[in-house]
Chain A
Amino acid sequence: MSAPISPVRNPLITGSKTYHQITEDLCSPTERAPNPTWVIAFLISVTVFGFGLFCIAWTIWKGIGTWGSNRTIGWAWDITNFVWWIGIGHAGTLISAILLLFRQKWRTGVNRAAEAMTIFAVMCAALFPGIHVGRAWVVFYFFPYPNTRGPLWPNFNSPLLWDLFAISTYFTVSLLFWYTGLVPDFATVRDRAKGIRKKVYNVLSFGWTGAAKHWQRWESLSLVLAGIATPLVLSVHTIVSFDFATSVIPGWHTTIFPPYFVAGAIFSGFAMVLTLMLITRKVLSLEDYITIEHVESMNKVILATGSIVGVAYLTELFIAWYSGYIYEQFAFFNRAVGIYWWSYFGMMACNVISPQFFWSKKLRRNVTFTFFMSIFINIGMWFERFVIIATTLARDYLPSSWSFYKPTWVEIGIYLGTMGLFFTLYLIFVRVAPVVAIAEVKSILKSSGDQYVKGHETYHETAPLREVHH
């Protein structure tokens, strides 16, 4: 077989790996006993999650009055956190679906963990709409099912209901896509395991054998799922933005929201993928699989989407001025210099200015710098949602109802709790499943392994695609 090797691409797998070494390297984290760092991290995450559960129980028991939201500012931390988490949940499917369609090979190093992160982030996100309704015990009224109340159906004109469908679909499709990708790798773990582990992985691997016909169907399934997940991932944050854009609140009622939200979601999602992957590759010694090339590619996506977000911010400001509509103008004036000016400043600094550093190749390839940038971007994107939601609502049409919002300990606890949930699930994931997709990495070894791409530097510029024969 001959594998076409691009003369301009750097290797994506370093350390001259063989197929067997790939199996060893990627399975071993699930096979050895957890180290003390993992145990400590896990205990902290579970504790924080437990506190979050307590705060949720407190909210449901005492009522939504335990939050800082008020009649003017009906949405605050709850929806800010919801949009923040759902945005973070966008990178996984983007990496696994859109980059699969574009045949981006660097996808294979990070797709597994990014998809896992997507699923966990969507779980954290879905929590907030569930509890912010107040009477969380009747939250199933959201779903249109034949009932004895009329039957009384939900309002299909409502973007909030569209959102329910979008997020439920996104979660389900992401989970199916992720698990289907995991099945062959679970089979690899199963075939190395003994005793009870073998039994467990036998159930998880669905009886996968690696037969040619199964691989063919598996690839066909992945491709079609990628094809339908691509518009899906774009639709989800579009519909989240409809929650705002279809209202008649100045600062929300804008047609730029869907593309701007989608770009922001991918931006924050990649930042979170980088935060996690830079830690994961270090702790699990996966530097040969998640290379500087991967980091640089993700930083390029961050630069592109961050710049789109920046342009969107400026466009919003321009249109507010150009519209001649004083309420719209005031909404943006209030965001920039009003009571919450610092969150606007944080948003601008973290989301617009900071990604511009990634024009420098040196900084794109600097792991420490990237790590700090990824944290900044996560903070900046949280501020963006806070600016859009709380700042805008705090100064509505009637100055007599202007208000101020600050979170209570219950809201802070729930937010921290979702962090706890997210990291608890991620820490379990790295123990149970191979963090990097084993079969997919093996399939790109001949075209992207460093021993096959050696000497690629000399082929820059002039050489056409060359074929390597074995």
Chain B
Amino acid sequence: MAHAHTTTDIIYGLYTDETDLLHAVKQAGDAHMDIWNVYTPFPVHGLDPLLGLSESRLHIAGFIFGSLGLLTAFLGMSWIFTRDWPVIFGGKPYWPVPSFIPITFELTVLFAAIGMVVTFYTVSGMGPGTMYPILDPRITDDKFCIAFDKTSMTGSDVDAINNFFENTGAAEIHSKEIA
């Protein structure tokens, strides 16, 4: 990810097919090349293990927020009907657990969904108006991009990367300095 207040010198190759991208990423991994980031127009399956990305933990966040919703709803209703303001409705008990099921379920889902979505945008650093430097506008169209950070690379390292891009069938190779 880009660091604040420093410029990063990026060299990136664009591929036209996800198959080529996967082969290239695999080759880069085998050669122990340090990939800065990979950008694709749609989720490419099989990419995560090649990049060594660990499984997303969003579902854990979902479980925690869902549990919070469940407890909020159930304990909240229980407190209201048994402690704060007990009322007899149609001769039923003060604590009518089956009646609480629908609202408890709904709030579990509501909390889980809102919590997960907020977590997703927070950990991904995204939100309304967030701006990230865009390496190439065609990445969201039809280009698959592998980017390397060449800020601290020597000339021969850059040559190696150029060779790598050419050998793996990159359609285009570009450099870009990003803030």
Contacts and interface: CB of A to CB of B under 8 A. Distances in A.
Contacts of A23: 41, 140-142
Interface string A208-231: 111111111111110011001101
B125 A165 contact: no
A196 to B, nearest CB: 14
A211 B142 contact: no
Nearest to A179: B117
Interface stretch (A153-161, A277-285, A305-313, A402-410): A153-161
A126 interface: no
Interface string B21-51: 0100000000000000111111111111001
B113 interface: yes
A211 B81 contact: no
B77 A156 contact: yes
Interface of A is mostly: helix
Looking at B18, B66, B84, B102, which has the most chain A CB atoms within 10 Å of its CB?
Answer: B102
Given A20-B141, A206-B128, A224 B58 contact: yes
Nearest to A441: B42
A204 B129 CA distance: 7
A439 B41 contact: yes
B113 A228 contact: yes
A394 B75 CA distance: 41
Q: Of A1, A152, A159, A187, which is in contact with the most chain B CB atoms at under 10 Å from its CB? A: A1
A155 B92 CA distance: 12
Contacts of B56: 216-217, 220-221
Contacts of B41: 19, 23, 188, 210, 439, 442
Nearest to B128: A203
Interface string B50-74: 0101011011001000100000000
Contacts of B131: 202, 207
A443 B45 CA distance: 9
Contact of A221 (B38, B42, B102, B120): B120
A1 B141 contact: no
Nearest to A212: B38
A18 B138 CA distance: 14
Contacts of B51: 212
B141 to A, nearest CB: 5
Contacts of A188: 41, 140-141
B95 to A, nearest CB: 11
Contact of B140 (A187, A202, A232, A242): A187
Contacts of B47: 212, 215
Interface stretch (A166-174, A363-371, A459-467): A166-174
A9 interface: no
Contact of B113 (A144, A151, A176, A204): A176
A31 interface: no
Given A217-B58, A470-B19, A225 B113 contact: yes
B179 interface: no
Contacts of B102: 159, 162, 165-166, 235, 239, 242
B48 A212 contact: yes
Interface in B85-129: 85, 87, 89-90, 92, 96, 99-100, 102-103, 105-107, 109-110, 112-114, 116-117, 120-121, 123-129
A156 B110 contact: no
Contacts of B92: 157
Contact of B103 (A162, A212, A446): A162
Contacts of B158: none
A123 to B, nearest CB: 17
A213 B58 CA distance: 12
Given A188-B140, A211-B39, A217-B124, A173 B110 contact: yes
15 contacts: A19-B142, A20-B141, A156-B80, A156-B103, A165-B107, A188-B140, A209-B134, A210-B41, A210-B139, A212-B39, A217-B56, A218-B43, A239-B102, A439-B43, A470-B19
Given A1-B18, A157-B96, A229-B109, 4 more contacts: A166-B106, A206-B130, A212-B53, A232-B106
Nearest 5 Cβ contacts at the A-B interface: A207-B130, A19-B142, A191-B137, A220-B56, A162-B102
Interface of A: 1, 18-20, 23, 144, 150-153, 155-157, 159, 161-162, 165-166, 168-169, 172-173, 176-177, 180, 183-184, 187-188, 190-192, 202-204, 206-221, 224-225, 228-229, 231-232, 235, 239, 242, 439-440, 442-443, 446, 470
